[in-house]
Amino acid sequence: MKVLVLGSGAREHALVRALTQDPEVTEVLVAPGNPGMVDEATVLSSPGRIDDPEAMARLAHDNSVDLVVVGPEAPLVAGVADAVRARGIACFGPSQQAAALEGSKAFAKDVMAAAGVPTARARVCRSVEEAMEAFTEFGAPHVVKDDGLAAGKGVVVTSKLTQALAHAAQCLEREVAPGQAPPQIVVEEFLDGPEISLFCVTDGTSVLPLAPAQDYKRALDGGRGPNTGGMGAYSPLEWAPGDLTEQVIERIAKPTIQEMARRGTPFAGILYVGLALTARGLQVVEFNARFGDPETQVVLARLRTPLGGLLLAAANGTLAQHPPLQWSSEHAVTVVVAARGYPEGPRKGDPIEGITSAADAYVLHAGTAHAPGGGLVTAGGRVLSVVGTGPSLEQARRAAYEIVAKIDIPGAHHRSDIALAAAEGRVFLPNQENS
């Protein structure tokens, strides 16, 4: 099987790494990829925009691939999976209509309501005045979500009304292309409790859950600072309820998949379920339509089932015949090394030195590029993901942070508390403030 992975981040590097370990996968191509993937895959460095459906469908056809795996959300929302399938090529990723589960927070809330999925109360707002009414109704802390894609940075959670109003106004004043609907936001009640990410592989009918993980979205230790695309993650979650996966499948994933099918927009791919474990039980924080970053890095580090066959079964509608998934008993921790200024204004072009690996740790590239004179430089906000594994969470943390300590990037920063609470027998609670 010849596989094409679309994307260039650490998530895609993790997918490439796992696919190369599948004995049924004969070749892995990646577009546009990054310098860290060149030893593991054929990097198609000038493939065109990966959110251009026809360009990506043509790329897959011209390279005679058997399966396309779409990494980021933007190509899915643009309809890349539809264009690839129209060429008769299997594609792991939902259709453009189904990807609206991530592309629109308001649409996702509507689907959850119809499916009876437990989630926070919410109001869709199209003006600051409507937002103010919602803030008054739900009280503080205030949760404000840009309705569209925002690369994981469109959410503000704050007890400060002025900050919530400012973010609402910024989202609602965003320019939209001619013919597009006016911008809107979703204001929600705050869900208190630890957060959990669970990826569900589905072919539109059957559902296979992957291992739960917890990620860290805020930029700074202790859950402080602005939201980011994610600064680290770990798996497994020994503190989570023993029936967590079963609850998510029966109460959330299956009802959602059934509701999407009822609407004539079947969802096949990854249903990323972001959860809060509240006093009322599990509540959905968000849905995404693809593998999450950085959770993918730790989930795939523990998966022992060949990835290519799993994704192909979901793409071909044969997931019901797939054998049960096999998992390593080891723990995995990933720590993101971010560029100076991330997330507000990451600096590019800084030299990267000191990348090493060990028997129990390795580095996945994200925002890296080749320097004109040789070597590597920063080319994005989240530069590297360092993955450590071990028989205990503490050993996995130590393995990851020993590699992080050797990396030298001017002004770079990382969180020092990834998986720390769990390693100490505590449960990490996200801070209520962005700053």
Predicted confidence at residue 435, as pLDDT, reads: 39
Q: State what percent of residues in the chain have pLDDT above 90.
A: 90
Question: What number of other Cβ atoms are within 10 A of residue 323's Cβ?
Answer: 10
- Cα 320 to Cα 372: distance, rounded to the nearest angstrom: 50
Predicted confidence at residue 218, as pLDDT, reads: 93
Query: Would you call 399 exposed, middle or buried from its count of C-beta atoms within 10 A (0-12, 13-18, 19+)?
Result: buried
Domains along the sequence of the chain with CATH: 2-92 (3.40.50.20), 123-188 (3.30.1490.20)
Task: State the average pLDDT over residues 363-369.
Answer: 98
Beta bridge partners, 234, equal 214, 333
Please, what is the average pLDDT of the chain? 95
Contact status, residue 11 vs residue 293, Cβ threshold 8 Å: yes
pLDDT tens, 112-169? 999 999 999 999 999 999 999 999 999 999 999 998 876 655 788 899 999 999 999 9
**In sequence order, which ranges of 53-175 are alpha helices (DSSP H)?**
53-62, 73-78, 80-86, 100-103, 105-115, 128-138, 161-172
Query: Is pLDDT above 70 for 193?
Result: yes
Predicted confidence at residue 433, as pLDDT, reads: 47
pLDDT tens, 302-346? 999 999 999 999 999 999 999 999 999 999 999 999 999 999 999
Max Cα distance, the chain (Å): 58
User: Who has greater pLDDT, 258 or 146?
Assistant: 258
103: left (phi over 0), alpha (psi -120 to 50) or beta: alpha
* Helix, strand, coil percentages, rounded to 5, for the chain: 30, 25, 40
Q: How far is CA 370 from CA 86, 224, 373, in A?
A: 35, 33, 8
CA 319 to mean position of chain CA atoms = 22
